[in-house]
Amino acid sequence: MTEEEHLQLIEGKLEKAIEGIKEEMKLNDKDIAQLQELYWENYSDFDEYGYEEYENRQQMFNHANFRSRNMKTLHMYKRMQDSPYFARVDFVFDGEDEPERCYIGIGNFAEGKGSMPLIYDWRAPISGLFYDYDAGRASYVAPAGIVEGEIVKKYQYKIKKGKLIYAVESDIKIDDDILKQALSMNADARLKSIVSTIQKEQNSIIRNEKDKILIVQGGAGSGKTSVALHRIAYLLYRHRNDLMASQVLILSPNDVFSDYISHIMPELGEENISEMTFDDFAAKELSDVAACERHYDFLEDVLVHEESRPEYAKARQEKLSARSCKEFAEAINAFVFSLEYELMDFKNIKYKKLEKDADSIADLFYNKLPDIPLFKRMDAVREYIVDEYTTLTGHEFDDIESAIVKDKFEAMYRTKDILVLYNEFLESIGEEAVAIAENERRRVGYEDVYAMLYLKYLLCGVGQGRQIKHLVIDEMQDYSYMQYCIIGWVFKCPMTILGDKEQSVDSEKSDVLNFLPEILGKDSKRIVLNKSYRSTVEITDYAAAIAGINGIDGIDRHGKAPEKNIFDNENKMYAAVADRIDEELSAGKYETIAVLCKTQAEAEYVGDKILENIKETEDDEESFKVTVLNKNTDRFKTGVVVAPYYLAKGLEFDSVHIVNADKTHYYSDYHKQLLYIGATRALHSLDFYGVGEACGLLP
């Protein structure tokens, strides 16, 4: 049978399976309708104990579950109709003479329950043969144990809309030509699945199940985020009885990035997983204390003022660094210890027949219940004393009486205001207190947000009942020691942590790998990805030269060298940028084009200038749009995007244009980090534009 005939056979079986599922769903829907009709006709006659009603509801529940499973399978099969499989491994099991052809796709497909799969899910144990082995001896771990044998041949396929584009025999590794072809495709508004081009070092991360904390340090374009998401899809597949998509959380850098990665899980056959920024989490946890400045607002404020008010900008950066470190956390620990005695004012309690002297209350507080967080401890003391009273008298307080008693115990705290206590802490170490405005919503700057949350958790404890069973942290380099301490308290679950220390958006770079094992425990594994798959060799090398880093190995995919363009005024600069974008759009070369700059304010101005210049040359003004990303943007679109660096992190674009890249605007080590972040967003083309004197940070 030829490859084309085999594909036609599989397509026919898929179509038959889809029709079968549709028929099953029709019958199931009919059963549900009958059960509903039965319920409304007979519910008044159901037995008084509720057994019949329970049985009816249980049947409805089972039918609903059946429908949900069928919908998921139907969705997968329809997606597989476009491209049923992308690889094949011919494997001779030990003890057998003939090889078994194992086709690999995005999901399992068999003709019936108990039948041998015609296509194996890429996450199945046997599929690891394709990713991990060359032709020759190989093995994989199945539920029954280690299976050994020999790989005779490996094939890769390109199938589109049910038609075979090519079939390539690839005896050694995933064919470089196929990989380069996949990488040379244009970017779009969504992160792409990489199941057909997963590399061996990436596969070891995806299928790692033994390490509770997996830390991936990878350079720009190494596929960190894709690998992390495919790892979650793999874990959901392998542990489908114990792990649900709703129990996985991604801490992402911003809402644009969340949208960018949102379709990957459905594409891999899983439900979408929850995503949020850590700033949103902190703001919610401190909502009863004060409004919190977000990281992007802090960055915007610092970058906007770095030239007009350099001392102010530098002071905020230094304060953030100082209030995020281990020493500051230890100082808060010491302060909370001192509050054990300074915060309390024990008094005799007398309410009706309930009496307890201050010394007895203090003894319970310090000696019987010392391990309960300070702000929760008096509740425990009160419950102990009230239980004792109820046992002795047989009297139970009603709700109003209980509230009166609680207030009497709570009055023994000098204050329970977190912001007031945080200010007391700052003053105790010689720092200026956070301003508290009268009759206004209290607000705290970003540099104090996580220190204050750290203090709150020490005093109040961490809320229980969190159902997260796996946490993914992206852009790990942008989290501080203080933040990781909080993460370690809140999430007692396995984690996948990924990032690149060279891509920090804060002024002071820190290698989080130095302190993560201390906070999260010794049972963590660090993996380094040094190969870049995103950009051309020219862009990869240029970006590495900006950052002054070595050891990045790129795919041998070439394109034009990055260009530096200097003009004598900004009007000429923006006209040149607009001309270049117009050229790229007219040629239909690229789907995503980015213009990057330092601040949101600058992005708004740049967007207007580019649109102004483009409209002078475009016949159809309505055909061209510029999207300026801001902190409220929650959708990533194709076309021309203008954005500050901190909102472009994690995204990739066919072509990147960096404006104002001159000596006036870029001159510090921090600016070097920003230029590196911008340069590494580009897949195929990268250009810099400036006014006056060239930027000395560029090669």
pLDDT score of 180:
45
- Asked whether residue 508 carries a pLDDT value surpassing 80, the answer given is no
SS3 state at 687: strand
DSSP, collapsed to helix, strand or coil, labels residue 283 as helix
Q: Is residue 455 part of a domain?
A: no
Say how far apart CA 688 and CA 684 lie, in whole Å.
Answer: 14
Q: What pLDDT score does 633 carry? A: 84
Last residue of a domain, one of 163, 197, 231: 197
| Residue type (1 letter), 263 | H
Residue 613 lies in a domain: yes
* Each residue's pLDDT tens digit, 329-385: 999 999 999 999 999 999 999 998 899 999 999 999 999 999 999 999 999 999 999
Task: Out of 168, 197, 226, pick the residue that ends a domain.
Answer: 197
Question: Residue 509: what pLDDT?
Answer: 67
Number of residues assigned to the chain: 699
Number of H helices, E strands in the chain: 24, 24
Q: Report the range of poorest mean pLDDT among 189-193, 574-578, 628-632.
A: 189-193
Paired tokens of 94: 């030990």
Residues 6+ apart with CB under 8 A from 397: 386, 390, 405
Summarize the confidence of residues 621-646 as an average pLDDT. 82
Cβ 121 vs Cβ 106: under 8 Å: yes
Confidence of residue 221 (pLDDT cuts 50, 70, 90): confident
Do the bridges between strand 163-169 and strand 145-160 make them parallel or antiparallel, or are there none, so unpaired? antiparallel
DSSP 364: I
Q: Do the Cβ atoms of 556 and 180 come closer than 8 Å?
A: yes
338 located within any domain: no
Condensed to tens digits (0 to 9), the pLDDT of residues 294-307 reads: 999 999 999 999 98
Q: Considering only CA atoms, which of 158, 151, 192 is closest in space to residue 175?
A: 158
What's the mean pLDDT in 438-452?
Answer: 89
Q: Strands 145-160 and 87-93, how do they pair? A: antiparallel
- Going by pLDDT thresholds of 50, 70 and 90, the confidence category of residue 397 is very high
Cα gap 448→450, rounded to integer Å: 6
Q: Which residue carries 């194709």 as its tokens?
A: 638
Picking from 396, 374, 398, 377, the residue whose alpha carbon sits closest to that of residue 387 is 396
541 with 604, same domain: the answer is: yes
| pLDDT value at residue 10 | 95
Question: Rounded to an integer, what distance in angstroms lies between the CA atom of residue 64 and that of residue 471?
Answer: 30
Angle at 378 between CA 373 and CA 380, to 5 degrees: 80
- 546 and 494 share one domain: no
**Residue 524, amino acid:** S
Give the pLDDT confidence score for residue 28 in this predicted structure. 86
Euclidean distance between CA atoms 647 and 447, whole angstroms: 19
Is the predicted pLDDT of residue 615 greater than 80, yes or no?
no
Same domain, 82 and 16: yes
Q: Report whether pLDDT(678) > 90.
A: yes
Tell me the pLDDT tens digit for each residue of 146-192. Answer: 999 999 999 988 898 999 988 888 754 544 454 445 545 555 555 55
Across 245-249, 523-527, 621-625, least confident range: 621-625
Residue 674 has pLDDT above 90, yes or no: yes
How far from the centroid of its chain's Cα atoms is residue 633's Cα?
Answer: 17
- Could you count the other beta carbons within 10 Å of the beta carbon of residue 306? 21
Q: Is 282 found in the same domain as 152?
A: no
Which pLDDT value is given to residue 665?
Answer: 94
Looking up residue 250, the CATH number of its domain turns out to be 3.40.50.300
- The pLDDT-based confidence of 36 (bands split at 50, 70, 90) is confident
Percent above pLDDT 90 for the chain: 58
Which pLDDT tens digit goes with each residue over 77-96? 998 999 999 999 999 999 99
CA dihedral 83, 87, 90, 95 (to 10 degrees): -90
Residue 250 and residue 220 in one domain: yes
Same domain, 563 and 687: yes
C-alpha closest to that of 640 among 586, 602, 570, 680: 586
Q: What pLDDT does residue 618 have? A: 52
Place of tokens 């299976």: 147
Instruction: Give the confidence band of 636 by pLDDT, cuts at 50, 70, 90.
Output: confident
| Cα–Cα distance measured from residue 493 to residue 484, given in angstroms and rounded to the nearest whole number | 14
pLDDT tens for 271-296 read: 778 889 999 999 999 999 999 999 99
Domain boundary among 170, 197, 224: 197
- pLDDT cut 70: percent of the chain above it: 92
Whose tokens are 């086709």? That residue is: 103
Distance CA 639, CA 617 (A): 17
Q: How far is residue 348 CA from its own chain's centroid?
A: 52
418: in domain: no
Distance CA 433, CA 334 (A): 18
Tell me which of 360-364, 375-379, 572-576, 615-619 is least confident: 615-619
352 lies in some domain: yes
The backbone torsions φ and ψ at residue 605, rounded to the nearest 5 degrees and listed phi first, read -65, -45
Distance from C-alpha of 277 to C-alpha of 266, rounded to nearest angstrom: 21
User: 436 near 423, Cβ under 8 Å?
Assistant: yes
Are 544 and 550 a contacting pair, CB within 8 Å?
yes
Q: Please spell the DSSP secondary structure of 512-580, one letter per residue.
A: GGGTHHHHH-S-EEEEEE-EE-SS-HHHHHHHHHHHT----EE-S---PPPEEEEESSHHHHHHHHHHH
Is residue 303 domain-resident? no
433 and 423 Cβ atoms separated by less than 8 Å: yes
Q: Structure tokens of 247?
A: 């129990």
Q: Is residue 28 part of a domain?
A: yes
pLDDT in tens, 591-611: 899 999 999 999 999 999 988
Please give the helix or strand (H or E) that residue 147 lies within, else none. Answer: strand 145-160
SS3 labels along 61-85: HHHHHHHHHHHHHHHHHHHHHHCCC
Q: Is the Cα torsion angle 351, 352, 354, 357 positive or negative in sign?
A: positive
The domain in which residue 246 lies consists of 202-288+465-529
pLDDT of residue 381: 96
pLDDT, mean of residues 499-522: 81
Angle between helices 326-342 and 418-428 (to 10 degrees): 110
Instruction: List pLDDT tens digits, range 536-559.
Output: 999 999 999 999 888 677 778 899
Please tell me the predicted confidence (pLDDT) of residue 185: 56
Separation CA 127–CA 237 (nearest Å): 13
d(CA 273, CA 245): 5
Residue 69 has pLDDT above 60, yes or no: yes
Q: Could you tell me if 243 and 392 lie in one domain?
A: no
pLDDT value, residue 622: 47
Closest of 647, 633, 643 to residue 610, by C-alpha:
643
**Number of domain units in the chain:** 4
Q: Compute the distance between CA of residue 556 and CA of residue 42 in angstroms, rounded to an integer.
A: 72
Per-residue model confidence (pLDDT) at position 193: 67
Q: Is the pLDDT of residue 118 over 50?
A: yes
Residues 489 and 547 in one domain: no
Alpha helix stretches (DSSP H) within 120-248: 128-132, 176-183, 200-206, 224-238
Average pLDDT (428-453) is: 90
- pTM for this prediction: 0.85
Does one domain contain both 26 and 163?
Answer: yes
Element (H, E) at 585: helix 570-587
Dist. CA 488–CA 479, nearest whole Å: 12
| 417-437 average pLDDT score | 93
Same domain membership, residue 365 and residue 278: no
The kind and range of the H/E element at 350 are strand 349-351
Per-residue confidence at 464, pLDDT binned at 50, 70, 90?
Answer: low
What's the Cα-to-Cα distance from 654 to each of 256, 589, 591, 640, rounded to whole Å? 17, 9, 7, 10
Q: What pLDDT is recorded for position 550?
A: 81
Judge whether 302 lies within some domain.
no
Strands 639-644 and 291-292: unpaired
Residues 561 and 521 reside in one and the same domain? no
Sign of the CA dihedral with 636 first, then 642, 648, and 651 last:
positive
- Tell whether 216 and 71 lie within a shared domain: no
DSSP code for 186: P
The reported pLDDT for the residue numbered 439 is 62
Query: Per-residue pLDDT averaged across 19-29, rounded?
Result: 90
Which string of DSSP letters, residue by residue, matches 448-479? Answer: HHHHHHHHHHHHH---S-----EEEESSGGG-
| pLDDT tier, 253 (very low <50, low <70, confident <90, very high otherwise) | confident
C-alpha 336/C-alpha 339 separation (Å) is: 5
Instruction: Name the E strands within 34-144.
Output: 87-93, 100-105, 120-121, 136-142
Which run of H or of E encompasses 328? helix 326-342
Whether pLDDT at 399 is above 90:
yes
The residue-averaged pLDDT of 441-451 equals 94
